[in-house]
Amino acid sequence: MSKIKNKSLRESYNLKPGDFNTERKPTWCLGCGNYGIWNSLKKTFVKLRLMPHEIVIVYGIGCSGNGANFIRTYAFHSLHGRALPVATGVKLANHKLNVLIMGGDGDGVGIGGNHFIHTCRRNIDMTYILHNNKVYGLTTGQTAPTSGRGFKTKSTPSGVLEIPVNPVSLALICGATFIARGFSGDTGHLLDIMKKAIKHKGFSFIEVLQPCVTFNKINTYNFYRDRIYKLEELKDYDRSNLNEAIKKSMEEEKIPTGIFYDIDRPTYEDGLKQIERKPLVDHMIADIDINRLLNRFY
């Protein structure tokens, strides 16, 4: 998490979740998992005493991306699959900001899969919340890269022939330093994960299992409730053990949630001397002397 600029202002300010509402009302289907994520996130900001203007959320395209209209922070509603590089640019230009990314499964591990791999290994201090409903909702019900094998959709009427991408396993092998899974039907647990993810220094990744009540009749609230358990309930689970985390992330019969992996590693920004003293955006650029550079060309 980034440094807070105006601590006194912060403390005097009595933040409420409602302060993060815009004038627009959510357009998600009744019962959509997005409501759980939306509520948990707003509460997380309040708990962390983050002001709306200190946060930038970059959204992908999809039902989750439409959330850009419903959460009051700085927002960039980017293209399908491109939220991660946009967020990277924002963070490198002004690393004092708290940067989050919200996108769906198609966005993150389908069309934007390459960016996901490289953003994980970069370990930039941002938090990526991937909404995984295992179906394409906004385009009205086609298969997703996270859909189970055999899943019948409008684009795969005979059933999906591929096996699904496991976003948590992928994040683990690609080098993210905080990796968790939450469930939109358990907002208290999700809030706790979000809080820790945002506080984590480095790239934090949360996969949120999120039922799509309209287009996915398999991965429902009850489907998850029957299978989910919490890693916190295991006595000797070691969050710094990568091999253990990968093994856990591959479990299918029962679905682990909670924090799989949490380690400290220098962030990308830590390696950038040029932003040690102040963010790029704070530099004066009105009259830069390039005499030294011109001398190179003699």
Partner 1 sequence: MKVSNISWKIGGEAGFGIMSTGAIFSKIFAKKGYYVVDNNEYPSLIRGGHNAFTVRVSSNEVFSIDKDINILVALNEETIKLHQEEVIYGGYIIYDEDSGDITEIKKARKDINYIMVPFSKIITELGVPRIMINNVSLGASVALLNYDLEVLRNIIRDIFERKGPEVVSFNIKSSEFGYKYIKEKLKINAYELEIVKPVNKMLLTGNDAVFLGAVRSGCKFYAAYPMTPSTSILESFASVENDYNIVTKHAEDEIAVINMAIGASFAGVRAMVATSGGGFSLMNEGLGSAALTETPLVIILCQRPAPATGLPTWSEQGDILFAIHASHGEFLKVVLAPGDPEECFYLTGKAFNIADTYQIPVIVMLDKYLSENHFSYERFDFKNITVERGKLLTRSKDIDAGYKRYLNTEDGVSPRAVTGIDRGIHIANSDEHDEYGYSEDGAFNRKIMVDKRFRKIKKLMEEIPPPKIYGPTDAEITIWSWGSCKGPILEAMNILNQKEKKVNLIHFTYLYPFDGESIEGIIEKSNKNIVVENNKTSQLAKIIMMNTGYRIKNKILKYSGRQFLPGEIVNGIEQIE
Given the rule CB under 8 A, which residues bind partner 1?
Answer: 22-24, 51-54, 56, 58, 61, 66, 68-69, 72-79, 82, 84-94, 96-97, 114-115, 117-118, 272-275, 280-281, 283, 285-288, 290-294, 297-298
Please report how close the Cβ of residue 238 comes to partner 1 at its closest, in angstroms: 31
CA–CA separation, 4 vs 2, rounded Å? 6
3-state helix, strand, coil in the chain (%, to 5): 40, 15, 45
Nearer to partner 1, 78 or 257 (CB): 78
Looking at the Cβ atoms of 117 and 263, the one nearer to partner 1 is 117
Strands 74-77 and 178-183 turn out to be unpaired
Closest separation in Å from C-beta 204 to partner 1:
18
- Decide whether 30 or 294 has the Cβ nearer to partner 1: 294
Query: Token pair of 229, please?
Result: 């358990």
We find the least distance from the C-beta atom of residue 176 to partner 1, in angstroms, to be 15
Residue 113: enclosing H or E segment and its boundaries?
Answer: helix 113-122
**Residue 69 or 214: which CB sits closer to partner 1?**
69
CB of 287 to partner 1, least distance (A): 8
Strand partners, 262: 178
DSSP bridge partners of 4: none
Residue 115 CB contacts under 8 Å (≥ 6 apart), including other chains: 81, 82, 84, 85
Q: Which is nearer to partner 1, 164 or 175 (CB)?
A: 175
Query: Smaller CB distance to partner 1: residue 115 or 189?
Result: 115
> What gap in Å lies between CA 234 and CA 76, rounded to an integer?
39
The DSSP bridge partners found for residue 130 are: 103, 207
Q: Give me the least distance between CB of 236 and partner 1, in Å please.
A: 37
237-to-121, 240, 251 alpha-carbon distances in Å: 24, 9, 14
- Which of residues 120 and 160 has its CB atom nearest to partner 1 in the complex? 120
What token pair was written down for 232? 């916190």
CA 138 to chain centre: 19
Rank residues 138 and 255 by Cβ distance to partner 1 and give the closer one: 138
Judged by DSSP in three states, 189 sits in helix
Rounded to the nearest whole angstrom, what is the least distance from the CB of residue 32 to partner 1 in the complex?
A: 17
Structure tokens at 71: 């959460």
- Write down the least CB distance from residue 8 to partner 1, Å: 14
Residue in the block written with tokens 């200190």: 54
- CA–CA distance, 46 with 33 (Å, rounded to integer): 21
Shortest Cβ 264–partner 1 spacing (Å): 23
